[in-house]
Structure 1
Amino acid sequence: MIISTIAAASLLVGGFLSAPGLVDRQMNQVYPYSAKAPSRDTLALHQRLWIADLHADSLLWQRDLNRSGKHGHVDFPRLQQGNVALQAFSVVTKTPRKMNIERNGSDTDNITALVVAQGLPPATWNSLLARATYQADELRRLAGKSDGRVSVIGSRAQLRSFIAAREKDPALLAGWLTLEGAHALEGKLDNLDTLYKAGYRMAAPTHFFDTELSGSQHGLKKGGLKPLGRQWLRAMEQRRMIVDLAHASPATIDDVLGLAQRPVMVSHTGVRGTCANGRNLSDGQLKRIAAQGGLVGIGFWNTAVCGKDVAAIARAIKYTVKLIGAEHVAYGSDFDGAVTTAIDAAGLPRLTQALLDAGLSEAQIRRIAGENVRDFLLKNLPDDDA
């Protein structure tokens, strides 16, 4: 009886611990390819690009990113296969149950069960800040096991050094840390120093619910910046940390743009001009962000672009380029963000082909594919002694 009870308990625990992998496989998929394969000339162009992506949630799933996987969207080998130079690794610390793009409260959390099931340290079970610092350390641990192929950058000097090294070895890859929602501060502005020391260089005030800082596009009240949010904005700018307006409510976007002294990013979004829903940015918002020197990362998933192939992504990019100029547009895939995407990281040549087919020039594609992000960070990351 005791033996059978232990066996049953072991099966239960084993099933619980295997659940994250099953969820990962189910939620991070790729639509079947429907567009034509890239031509030889396109592949040659793709290899000449300096590619950067502004958003991937891959650290959430506790995969060994040094190994090429058969599920999900991102690992180091697939990034290298796609000729990616710089990948933003965003960290998610809390999401509401039954998450949707219209209306969510903050009183439930999917991530607690995930971190417990993945065997993360007990400190992460009840602390959003601990989850953020753990995932930052995880990226550095993974980079440390890459035999020098992957590095983590946090300053302009580090980025310049990486750019120079990659000119000699195009297989090199760099990551940088971003935070999806400043609720990881746990309501304490002093914790911003902890996040900065952990390596974070960009953060959004909200994710899928309203926070102590501001309203979310998907929250209950959808308000603007609160007093703590205004203090947070000043503190971010003092540290040369970049503000990300992905998921921000219209009121929050207006407040940030009215107060910001530095350009902002929208790491992953769609545009209402090609995909009209509350998740995406209006023409007016796009113009204001661009007018202040900002960047907009176009997403790769259906809710962002109203389509399941690279042609839909290219359509959204082309629309945004026509509206605000190629110098303000970037890739914001949302890889591994519990979404199905048109491609994974290795499939990026297909997007290059779609952009060419949409009529974009090589010069425009170079800017959009990564040079805009590279140059933005060279201007806006912390000082060289960071």
Structure 2
Amino acid sequence: MKKLFIVMGVVALIYFAATLIVPPYIESQRNPVKSPPPYAVSAEAQAMYDRLDFIADLHCDALLWGRNLTKRGTGGQVDFPRMREANVALEMFTIVSKSPAGQNMKSNTTDAFDNITPLTIVKGESPANWFSLINRTLSQSQKLADFIEEEEGKAIFVRNKADFARLTEARKSDKSIIGGMLGIEGAHALEGDIANLDRVYEAGVRMIGLTHFFDNELGGSAHGQSQDGLTEFGREVVRKMNKLGIFVDLAHCSPAIVDDVLEMTTMPVIVSHTGVIGVLDSQRNLSDLHIQKIAENGGIIGIAFFDEAVGVPELPNIIASIMHIRDLVGIEYVALGSDYDGAVAVPFDITGFPLLVEGMMNADFSEAEIKAVMGENVKNFMLKNLN
């Protein structure tokens, strides 16, 4: 019996050590920054950046990795201190609950080994989360709530229009106040149970991507095998999301789902992180026809920052993607959707946002257009469409 206790103690010690060492190592491999900070821009670009009233990003997966977002990290791409350094007012924190081994843009199976299961275990999460997608989702939701509570009034969990208005008003006198919203990347997190939609709504989720890298109970992924449109369950989920006031995120959805949603939704949609086929021809990206339909719907499109969405070099292609949407349907429909901390290599972390301003200035964007892209469009969209 004594030997058993010793073995159990050694195993527990090894597991505890693994929770401290392995997650940061995995993230360092999955979320590299190609050009680390600090970043320098022209005096003119910095001055324009400093005049921006509201800066926002529509997609960040930082909750996945187990970092304390209230502390400035040496790895990853986003945390609260770096948001403040970059004067970012709002971040949409998106929840990843499952990711297939061999994840790729072309074709992924529904039964592939799940990368998030071992990460969940090695992070030291409750065994209740180890094999439950909905529990993982609710756990990450609670993490954001806990981080915001730790900020003691310096951060606001945005669940409704009143919260958003409180954020914009608070920042008039204190730019250190930041806001966080919750989204879900892939409605497989609902585990095929419509009742779980109420649970994630109560947890603060206000945006859900219907699919991620594989087909699920709602329909086909852009990177799945079927390329199907919405299933009947998918239609039921969209109807209830409209009723509750949860935005549909069309990122990663098959073209058929994009069409089906735009035909039936009663709310404007979001594409939280994407590229455009007009800049990079990829099944990951939006066609001109879908961009036009999303604009007609009153939706908003976040441009991602990584090479498989925009191509390389990333920065000029991010600007080209923004320009493509502006020239096709108007500047009011485009925003930033970095995909920070989403297992992608990015050209700069969130403190490099002034580089975007300089890039748009060099491309002859007006100051009003730059202001719109950097966050004013998101502010207007949320104030108009949040419940």
Equivalent residue number for residue 109 of structure 1: 114
Please state whether the residue corresponding to 2:107 is helix, strand or coil. coil
Tell me by how many angstroms 1:170 deviates.
1.1
Tell me which of 321, 330, 336 is aligned to 2:335: 330
Match of 1:24 in 2: 27
2:110 counterpart SS class: coil
Residues 1:97 and 2:115 are matched in the alignment: no
1:126 Cα deviation from its structure 2 partner? 1.6
Inter-partner Cα distance in structure 2 for 1:28 and 1:82: 19
User: Is residue 2:41 matched to residue 1:38?
Assistant: yes
Cα distance in structure 2, aligned partners of 1:263 and 1:377:
10
Would the aligned equivalents of 1:308 and 1:341 in 2 still touch at CA under 8 Å?
no
Alignment of 1:260-299 (within 5 A): 260-299=265-304
Describe the superposition over 1:40-87 as per-residue Cα deviations: whole angstroms up to 9, x where unpaired: 221121122210100000000110111111211001111111110010
Q: 2:71 aligns with which of 48, 67, 77?
A: 67
Gaps of 5+ in 2: none
1:354 aligns with 2:356: no
Q: TM-score, normalised by structure 1?
A: 0.95
C-alpha distance in 2, partners of 1:63/1:326?
35
**Does structure 2 conserve the Cα–Cα contact (< 8 Å) formed by 1:267 and 1:296?**
yes
Residue 55, structure 1, aligned to residue 53, structure 2: no
1:76 to 73, 80, 87: 80
Using the aligned pairs only, state the percent identity.
42
Alignment-mate amino acid for residue 294 of structure 1: G
Distance (Å, rounded) in 1 between the aligned partners of 2:24 and 2:139 = 19
The secondary structure found in structure 1 opposite 2:317 is helix
After TM superposition, the score normalised by the length of structure 2 is 0.94
Measure the CA separation in 2 of the matches of 1:262 and 1:306: 31
Q: Write the letter of the residue equivalent to 1:375.
A: N
Partner residue of 1:305?
310
Residues 1:373 and 2:378 aligned together: yes
CA distance in 2, matches of 1:195, 1:355: 37
RMSD: 2.0
- Aligned-partner SS, 2:183: strand
SS of alignment partner, residue 172 of structure 2 = helix
Query: In the alignment, residue 78 of structure 2 is paired with which amino acid?
Result: V
Q: CA deviation at 1:191?
A: 1.1
Counterpart amino acid of residue 382 in structure 2: L
> Which deviations, in whole Å up to 9, do the C-alpha atoms of 1:186-222 show, x marking residues without a partner?
1011111101000000101111111111110011111
- C-alpha separation in 1, matches of 2:235 and 2:260: 9
3-state SS of paired residue (1:318): helix
Helix, strand or coil: the match of 1:330? strand
Q: For residue 308 of structure 1, report the CA deviation from its aligned partner.
A: 3.7
Q: Give the one of 229, 252, 269 matched to 1:247.
A: 252
AA aligned opposite 1:113: P
Q: Which amino acid aligns with 2:88?
A: V
Q: Counterpart of 1:316 in structure 2: which amino acid?
A: S
Structure 1 residue identity aligned to 2:269: V
Shift of 1:9: 4.3
For 1:216-242, what per-residue CA distance to the aligned partner results, in whole angstroms no more than 9, with x for missing partners?
001111100000001111100001110
Deviations 1:113-166 (A, max 9, x none): 111110111111121111111111100111111232211110001111111111
1-structure distance, mates of 2:151, 2:13 = 34
How many residue pairs get matched? Answer: 382
Pick one of 136, 145, 150 that aligns with 1:145: 150
